[in-house]
A = this chain, B = another copy of it.
Amino acid sequence: MIDKKTLVVFSGDMDKVMASLIIANGAAAMGSEVTMFFTFWGLNTLRKAKKIKVKKDFMEKMFGFMMPRGPEKMGISKMNFGGIGAKMMKDMMKKKNVNSLPELIESAQMMGVKMIACTMSMDVMGIREEELIDGIELAGVASYLGEAEEGNVNLFI
Contacts and interface: CB of A to CB of B under 8 A. Distances in A.
A132 interface: no
A79 B153 CA distance: 31
A53 to B, nearest CB: 21
Contact of A92 (B15, B66, B89, B124): B124
Interface residues of A, number: 52
19 contacts: A8-B19, A15-B41, A19-B40, A19-B156, A22-B141, A27-B145, A30-B142, A59-B91, A62-B88, A66-B79, A92-B125, A92-B126, A93-B124, A98-B120, A98-B123, A98-B124, A148-B153, A155-B155, A155-B156
A19 B10 contact: yes
Interface of A: 3, 5, 8, 10, 12, 15-16, 19, 22-23, 26-27, 30, 32, 39-41, 59-60, 62-63, 66-67, 77-79, 88-89, 91-93, 95-96, 98, 120, 123-126, 141-142, 144-145, 148-149, 151-157
B141 A26 contact: yes
Contacts of A96: 123-124
